[in-house]
Amino acid sequence: MASAESGRRAAGSGRLDKYSVLLPTYNERENLPLIVWLLVKSFSESAINYEIIIIDDGSPDGTREVAEQLEKIYGSDRILLRPREKKLGLGTAYIHGIKHATGNYIIIMDADLSHHPKFIPEFIRKQKEGNFDIVSGTRYKGNGGVYGWDLKRKLIRLYRKEVLQKIIESCVSKGYVFQMEVIVRARQLGCTVGEVPISFVDRVYGESKLGGNEIVSFLKGLLTLFATT
């Protein structure tokens, strides 16, 4: 399709790829600092150019205030808070986020720690390897695993920005069904899709399946950042 050809032209032009993470939030005050830290860590270790766009839908628990602090800590060039006044649905959150994205690739994931950002570099490698329009996480291949996962759980996905924009134009869903509709529309449009095996965990702050060393390291780093900002 035309998007794949445009991707090849971009790759040949030597343009530095940039990845925009769309992170919709609603009552994620406790999880947000950790997921952002893990994202920054994963991107930085792999020398990947990125931005994280937090789309908070009027969370009453103080998520927006936490996001504002994270924006100050990491810089507004890396963390972009683009809130909305009330909960308007997951699909419209992505539509809102993509309007502010400056990357040529879009990554969609949850803020609830059900996905580990350590898989993202593998998504990027897979996309480049097959020049895919979309790369999706799956629990059905390779070493992918599932812990307390049900069929409603959303997946990490990486898209060419122009492909996601075209898909969104044809979508009608606004809530959680939006994620499923995106894949259906992508198939209708003939998009190429690669898969990466990943593991999932339930959203439980304080009982996360993330490694203990990661959490301890995160907390130490967070304290240092707050103390020096």
Could you tell me which of 95, 104, 63, 107 has the C-alpha nearest to residue 81?
63
Tokens of 36: 């952002």
Mean pLDDT of the chain: 79
Within 10 A of 215 (CB to CB), how many other CB atoms are there? 15
Q: Of the candidates 92, 98, 16, which has an alpha carbon nearest to the alpha carbon of residue 49? A: 16
pLDDT of residue 182: 83
Residue 143 and residue 197 in contact, taking contact as beta carbons nearer than 8 Å? yes
CATH topology of domain 2-227: Spore Coat Polysaccharide Biosynthesis Protein SpsA; Chain A (3.90.550)
Q: Residue 139: name the closest of 120, 156, 125 by CA.
A: 156
What is residue 172's DSSP assignment? -
- Give the pLDDT of residue 207: 41
Q: Which backbone phi and psi does 171 adopt, to 5 degrees?
A: -85, 145
pLDDT number for residue 61 = 93
Q: What residues does each domain of the chain span? A: 2-227
Q: What is the pLDDT of residue 206?
A: 38
Q: What is the pLDDT of residue 191?
A: 93
Q: For 164-176, what is each residue's pLDDT tens digit?
A: 999 988 887 766 6
Cα-Cα end-to-end distance for the chain: 47
Residue with tokens 């205030």: 65
Rg (CA), the chain: 17
Q: What residues of the chain score a pLDDT lower than 50?
A: 1-14, 141-154, 202-210, 225, 228-229
Residue 169 confidence (pLDDT)? 85
Nearest to 92 by CA among 82, 79, 102: 82
E strands in the chain: 19-25, 50-56, 79-81, 105-108, 134-138, 157-160, 193-197
| Burial label, 38 (beta-carbon count in 10 A; 0-12, 13-18, 19+) | buried
